[in-house]
Structures are given as C-alpha cells and as structure tokens.
Amino acid sequence: MPNNTAWTTPKRTPRARGEELWRLWQGEKIASCELRDDTAIGAGFEILIRHNDEIMIGRRCIGEAEARCYANAFRQDYARSGWAAPSENR
C-alpha cells in the first residue's frame, strides 16, 4: 500500500535584514556583514557573514559592542585575504 502521508515543509518567512556593516568584493564574489538586534526577544545581537547573499557564518553576541568587534575582526580577515571595498577595486 503506498504511503501518501508525505510531510510538507512549511514555507519559512524570511527575517528582515539588519544593518549592513560592510561589503567587500573579490572579483565577482561579494561578502557582506550584517548586524541584527534581537534584544527584543532576549537573544542579544547577531552578526551574519554572507557570500553572494547566502548566509555563510552567524555569530551571536551578548552586546552590540562585542558584535561590532567581531564584525571588524571578520572584515580585517577578509581584507588580508585580498577582499576590497568597492572604491579600492575600481
């Protein structure tokens, strides 16, 4: 007897974007960092690193200063790897 009870996955509602802290290019690739304030739900702050708009890394932090510090450290790592801001590329 066939199993017709397949589960359907509900569509996920995309979350609103946060504040973009930086955006870097390397050739055709784009990396960006966004800061989300989730203190209203008691989850602190989150930074997201995206490659071509796809989330690659997420990091939760207790405070905004800590989150901005991590975002700056990620930016420095990308810059050391040859990524550059738009004005530096063109």
The pLDDT tens digits of the residues spanning 59-90 come to 999 999 999 999 999 999 999 999 998 775 44
Angle formed at CA 56 by CA 81 and CA 45, multiple of 5 degrees: 105
Q: What is the pTM of this model?
A: 0.76
Sequence spans of domains, the chain? 19-89
Give the Cα separation of 65 and 87 in Å (integer): 27
State residue 4's pLDDT score. Answer: 62
User: CB-based burial of residue 83 (10 Å sphere; 0-12 exposed, 13-18 middle, 19+ buried)?
Assistant: buried
